[in-house]
Amino acid sequence: MQQQILRRVLLWLGIGILLAVALNEGSFFFLRSEAGRAPRAIELLIPAGTAERMARGEASPEIPADMVFVIGDTLVVRNEDSVAHRLGPLFVPAGTSASMKLDRAENFIFECSFQPSNYFGLDVREPVTWETRIYGILFAGVPLGLLLSLYSFLIWPLRPSADGSKAGRKE
């Protein structure tokens, strides 16, 4: 009888892990988070005419309101405008570029001179590695498998045998 219980629990545990693999990897594939990539250099271009747009209170359509990064990315700000601009600790004279290594996970709000709001958001996230994906599968799959196993005993209870002990279904 103990073998039958163990086999059933292991079967449903395996099914729970398979379901977790399908759900976790399926959502990872379809959502394609920015955190699911390797660190790289990302360029932020300040186009020519940004200062004039700012004077009129207009946003430059080429510049996003905020950006998402992973730890290890390097933000490179390239200024093609005719005036110097600032982004947090970076001072970027006209026609030059400056860079900043993003080495910790945090939501930054920097003062900047190329947005009408005068603020620019940087969201730095932990990268999603294969280890974090495995943890996600195990943290979802094991409890799911155990719950399915318990429910299986309610739906298909062990039947008592002729000698009074419990026995599983006849196959």
What would be the CATH architecture of the domain defined by 37-125? Sandwich (2.60)
Return d(Cα 142, Cα 92) in angstroms, integer. Answer: 52
Is this structure's pTM higher than 0.75? no
pLDDT in tens, 7-47: 999 999 999 999 999 998 888 888 766 667 888 999 999 99
pLDDT in tens, 109-120: 999 999 888 899
**Domain residue ranges in the chain:** 2-32+130-156, 37-125
